[in-house]
Amino acid sequence: MSDYRYDVIIIGTGAGGGTLAYHLAPSGKRILILERGDYVPREKANWDPKIVNVEGHYNTKESWLDKDGKDLHPHTNYYVGGNTKFYGAALFRLRKEDFSELRHHGGISPEWPISYDELESYYTQAENLYQVHGNRGEDPTEPSASSPYPWPAVSHEPRIQQLSDDFAHAGLKPFHVPVGVMLDEKNPHKSRCIRCGTCDGFSCLVGAKSDAQVVCVDEAIKHPNVTLLTNSLVKKLETGPSGHEVKSVVVERNGRVEAYSADIVVVSCGAINSAALLLRSANDKHPHGLANNSDVVGRNYMGHTNSVLMAVSKCPNPTIFQKTLGVNDYYFGSSDWQYPMGHISFVGKLDAITLRAGAPAIAPNFTLELMAQHSLDFWLTSEDLPDPNNRVTIGRDGKIVLSYTPNNLEAHERLQAKLKHAMKQTNCAMHGHECHQGLFGRNLYVGQRIPLAGVAHQNGTIRFGHDPKTSALDVNCKAHDVNNLYVVDGSFFPSSAAVNPALTIMANALRVGDHLLDQLGAATVAKEHQLVGAGD
């Protein structure tokens, strides 16, 4: 075990861990960041749909098990920056109502222990940090915000603008999706982002996506007090004799086992791996897993009910950057259905190569090339509800077991029906109302065909709350049972809401970061340095 003691160890560099590292770095405290992966190599393959989507080149090769003991190849990535390296960078705030109890058709979405207002200023900070482009006031469900988006919305390309106009004409309130890309449309010659067609699901070859590596980790390690160790897989957390403190972080690095220690240990491995790490760290004082007196660690796994629906039109869709339009009119229900349905937006433009690997339904008279050239590729998200039986456990051979039975499905079916109906309202000057030939459900997880493998929106496995009997973390995301252990990734969510999770994970990491700076007696130093940095 190394004699050197850190003030803080952060495990994982994604939306949670990367953002926290950035926030704590100016404090001068000795910070060690442990990341199991390496940097995503910068290579032409970053933007190659066959290599990325069909071959799954950058996905982990790890295999997990589902509840029936069948192999599960998770669509997840272990790199500096975590899954934000590959995300679509749609950076939404949860709705204010998502923080309260909400009745769904499938059951109750529980209240959070903090209100939207308590997170609001951190959402603003996160939007500034991740350079979110958006227009306030367009989205009918958007919560109030204390400041405008730092950048104007990414504009729609003509086909998407036409769809937006059609939806508005039909009485909907389409809006520009808030996205974290470093696009400067006013000064295109200076813009770092080139508005390409390989963003959502791809790593950005030119470093213009606001991901946790580019925005946070690269900045954090400029501080001499911050050390990043890559290829460092944390295997276990060991406690001291009392069981109240993590004494040692056991790491496998370069084929060797090493141990590190710190006053504060922050786990941010993603909701599934963080739960797995705590469960694997069971000991005499914590027989059911570290910080798991409540028996909630690993339980209440949520990942959203997501689907991709392709609307194939007679009119072509030559859009390059498609992820600009959203519809939240059905988020909380509609005049004919009182329950929440969810959120509609877009995935990156699908191409024939990607479709070839995963498309089940091909329209008559359409080749895959034609289908890709004519499709609008919608992304639909509905809330899945916390169910203690939907859970992460560790199998006898040490593998992660992800048991999940979908719920609240009628909400999603109704959302799909609403979109199909809305598409029928759209018109086309050339082809009239029949322009849209149909909507096709498609398995996004190409080559794997296991919907559970799509763990992109994983959350909820180490929920926070006031009551140590029903939650593993307190409101500051500190383990109820362990004094120096925190969790800042997507696992703290008590409910999943129905918008993408990353901005909430980032905002919460900033909130927990402020608490940690107080604990370390470093709040003032960090603030001063952040102000200096802001003026640079």
Ligand X SMILES: Cc1cc2nc3c(=O)[nH]c(=O)nc-3n(C[C@H](O)[C@H](O)[C@H](O)COP(=O)(O)OP(=O)(O)OC[C@H]3O[C@@H](n4cnc5c(N)ncnc54)[C@H](O)[C@@H]3O)c2cc1C
Which residue, 112 or 321, is less far from ligand SF4 as judged by CB?
Answer: 321
Amino acid occupying residue 81: G
Nearest one of 343, 413, 411 to 380, comparing CA atoms: 343
- Residue of 206, 259, 409, 531 that binds ligand SF4 (CB under 6 A): 206
Packing angle of the helix pair 502-519, 116-129 (nearest 10 deg)? 100
Q: Does 49 bind ligand X (CB under 6 A)?
A: no
Q: Does 383 bind ligand X (CB under 6 A)?
A: no
Part in contact with ligand SF4 (CB under 6 A); list of ranges 198-206, 309-317, 355-363, 459-467 = 198-206
Question: What residues between 305 and 324 interact with ligand SF4 by CB under 6 A?
Answer: 321
Amino acid occupying residue 301: Y
Which region, left, alpha or beta, applies to residue 190 given φ > 0 means left and ψ of -120 to 50 means alpha? alpha
Q: Does 87 bind ligand X (CB under 6 A)?
A: yes
Q: Which residues contact 145 (CB under 8 A, 6 or more apart)?
A: 93, 120, 123, 124, 136
Q: Does 139 bind ligand X (CB under 6 A)?
A: no
Question: What residues between 449 and 468 interact with ligand X by CB under 6 A?
Answer: 456-457
Query: Whole-number minimum distance, CB 375 to ligand SF4, in Å?
Result: 19
Q: Does 246 bind ligand SF4 (CB under 6 A)?
A: no
Q: Kindly state the tokens that stand for 171.
A: 């009485």
Phi–psi pair at 184, nearest 5 degrees: -120, 95
| Binding-site partner at residue 341 among ligand X, ligand SF4, none, CB < 5 to 8 Å by type | none
Q: How many helical (H) and strand (E) elements, i.e. helices and strands, does the chain have? A: 12, 19
| Strands across the sheet containing 64-66 | 71-72, 64-66, 400-403, 391-394
Q: Which residues contact 296 (CB under 8 A, 6 or more apart)?
A: 388, 462, 463, 470, 471, 472
Q: Does 194 bind ligand SF4 (CB under 6 A)?
A: yes
Amino acid occupying residue 228: L
| Binding-site partner at residue 181 among ligand SF4, ligand X, none, CB < 5 to 8 Å by type | ligand SF4
Helical (H) or strand (E) element with 440: strand 436-442
Query: Whole-number minimum distance, CB 286 to ligand X, in Å?
Result: 17
- Residue of 196, 363, 417, 525 that binds ligand SF4 (CB under 6 A): 196
| Strands across the sheet containing 375-382 | 343-346, 375-382, 305-313, 436-442
Q: Does 347 bind ligand SF4 (CB under 6 A)?
A: no
Residue nearest to ligand X (CB): 14
Q: Does 328 bind ligand X (CB under 6 A)?
A: no
- Residue of 56, 74, 88, 465 that binds ligand X (CB under 6 A): 88
Neighbours of 50 (CB within 10 A): 14
Count Cβ atoms within 10 A of the Cβ of residue 227 and give its class: 0-12 exposed, 13-18 middle, 19 or more buried: middle
Q: Does 368 bind ligand SF4 (CB under 6 A)?
A: no
Which residue, 194 or 229, is less far from ligand SF4 as judged by CB?
Answer: 194
Query: Whole-number minimum distance, CB 208 to ligand SF4, in Å?
Result: 4
Q: How many residues bind ligand SF4 (CB under 6 A)?
A: 13
Q: Does 181 bind ligand SF4 (CB under 6 A)?
A: yes
- Residue of 14, 134, 342, 513 that binds ligand X (CB under 6 A): 14
Q: Does 234 bind ligand X (CB under 6 A)?
A: yes
CA pair distance 532, 536, nearest whole angstrom: 7
Q: Which residues contact 227 (CB under 8 A, 6 or more apart)?
A: 31, 32, 33, 221
| Binding-site partner at residue 457 among ligand X, ligand SF4, none, CB < 5 to 8 Å by type | ligand X
Q: Does 226 bind ligand X (CB under 6 A)?
A: no
Cα distances from 268 to residues 7, 139, 313, 455, 481, in angstroms, run 17, 31, 43, 16, 18
- Residue of 29, 36, 209, 412 that binds ligand SF4 (CB under 6 A): 209
Question: What residues between 256 and 295 interact with ligand X by CB under 6 A?
Answer: 268-271, 273, 277
Q: Does 15 bind ligand X (CB under 6 A)?
A: yes
Q: Does 84 bind ligand X (CB under 6 A)?
A: yes
Neighbours of 272 (CB within 10 A): 24
Which residue, 64 or 202, is less far from ligand SF4 as judged by CB?
Answer: 202
Q: Does 501 bind ligand X (CB under 6 A)?
A: yes
Q: 266 with 12: CB under 8 angstroms?
A: no
Q: Does 233 bind ligand X (CB under 6 A)?
A: yes
CA pair distance 467, 80, nearest whole angstrom: 34
Q: Does 82 bind ligand X (CB under 6 A)?
A: yes
CA pair distance 513, 15, nearest whole angstrom: 13
- Interface with ligand SF4 by CB under 6 A: which residues? 181, 193-196, 198-199, 202, 204, 206, 208-209, 321
- Interface with ligand X by CB under 6 A: which residues? 11-17, 34-37, 78, 82-84, 86-91, 200-201, 233-234, 268-271, 273, 277, 456-457, 489-490, 500-503, 505
